[in-house]
Structure 1
């Protein structure tokens, strides 16, 4: 695992994991602003078959506002992406952007504070998914 993400294995199949993750995000105050079906896009644009892989662009409006107040350009690093993907062994991984690592690139105390608070929420989402 890299330093800019953390992940868990879902106890459910791919199709059941997506709404489970979405609901867990909602419980922590996040909405899903974007949904990118990477597998479908690669198939349509390049003819490449790959196992299911989706990117959910999660946003907590309160924290996004705080971060934008501290650093107006922070939008380039938002939203917090959450990947749901099927692994070669057909298990399902849920991979979370680590906001402390990503937002830490800004090196601004107000943004760092938001990153730590968002990480705590996303870690609770991860634990909820893990079951």
Structure 2
């Protein structure tokens, strides 16, 4: 089982980020955080790294349901979605598979919530690969 859902786009990095945010919004996610890894690595380590962003996506109704079932589930929120520039000029978008990450929690009541979130993330990722 993969721990992520992915697609590769034949577009520029900034366009891919914009499409990813729009697709997440369409599925009910808000982007709570955005980390520019390439900028942070340059700032902190003075190294050059490819364009790479981590978006912290949250679906509030499902986050609320999960928090009601497991009070420490916030350690796994929000869902991480990455956008990274590949060597061949394409851009990859990958989202965490919440079903895979919830296996570590061992709380059966989280399974249907994780499956619903995975379905929404899959719809978002698939929708940008055809746009």
Shorter-chain-normalised TM-score: which range?
over 0.9
- Contact persistence 1:59–1:79 (CA under 8 A): yes
Is 1:64 the counterpart of 2:63? The answer is yes
Unaligned runs of 5+ in 2: none
Distance 1:48 1:16 in 2: 25
Distance 1:11 1:62 in 2: 33
Residues 23-102 of structure 1 correspond to what in structure 2 (within 5 A)? 23-102=22-101
> Relative to structure 2, which stretch is displaced further, 107-116 or 26-35?
107-116
> Relative to structure 2, which stretch is displaced further, 34-43 or 5-14?
5-14
Deviation per residue, 1:78-131 (Å, 9 max, x gap)? 110000000111110001100000122112122111110000000001111111
User: Which runs of at least 4 in structure 1 moved beyond 2 Å after TM superposition?
Assistant: none
SS in 2 for 1:106: coil
Unaligned runs of 5+ in 1: none
The count of residues paired between Structure 1 and Structure 2 equals 130
SS in 2 for 1:68: helix
SS in 2 for 1:96: strand
Distance 1:11 1:27 in 2: 21
Could you say what the CA RMSD is over the residues aligned between the two structures, in angstroms? 1.0
Deviation per residue, 1:26-75 (Å, 9 max, x gap)? 01000000000000000011011011000000000000000000001000
